[in-house]
Structure 1
């Protein structure tokens, strides 16, 4: 019998991508393709790319994984590896990734 996962086992991240001037549409399309493919990966709880309304050309990804192993497997998928190769030439600065943790009632 498999026990339900606790929130502590889940992995949540917010990568941020800032397009090089003139590359906004190309980055948008690349991120959309990545979002579509990644949502099919095992253990994906959430994978949504947002456009920053106050900073044109900036995109924020909100992603959640059932486990660190699921995230690691996702990072080995061809669609992720191809995206990482492609995206470097589209960015003004290297993308950043911030791990996040849902708040609970305890500290």
Structure 2
């Protein structure tokens, strides 16, 4: 079963653009990881950067969390956050159509 994750990054004051640029190499590295179906950042209206992730399995997500791409991302964003990243892991509850009812 797939696993969906949100990760909310609160930039330090005046550092949002720098944070986004610093995230790019790590995101590209994650896209190469087994099981990564979606790993995309979004500019949220509250000033945060929100990552939406979709993984083929919990095992793939677990490997990702311990892997070199996350280490790179964490290194690159060091000093650019106002607070720790808020990560939420979810299991889809399909509803409606197959195409639109689950991420």
Tell me the TM-score normalized by structure 1.
0.78
For structure 1, the 5+ residue unaligned runs are 1-8
Inter-partner Cα distance in structure 2 for 1:74 and 1:44: 9
Inter-partner Cα distance in structure 2 for 1:47 and 1:102: 16
Q: Is the 1:45–1:65 Cα contact (8 Å) retained in structure 2?
A: yes
Aligned to 1:99: 89
Q: Deviations over 1:55-104 (max 9, x none)?
A: 23x10001011111111111222221122234241111111011123222
The aligned length equals 95
1:12 to 2:4 alignment: yes
Q: Secondary structure at the residue paired with 2:79?
A: helix
RMSD: 1.5
Inter-partner Cα distance in structure 2 for 1:79 and 1:104: 30
1:76-95 residue pairs with structure 2 within 5 A? 76-95=66-85
Aligned to 1:6: none
Aligned to 1:75: 65
For structure 2, the 5+ residue unaligned runs are 96-103
Aligned to 2:26: 34
Inter-partner Cα distance in structure 2 for 1:83 and 1:13: 16
Aligned to 1:46: 38
Tell me the TM-score normalized by structure 2.
0.81
Q: Secondary structure at the residue paired with 2:26?
A: helix
Structure whose CA Rg is larger: 1
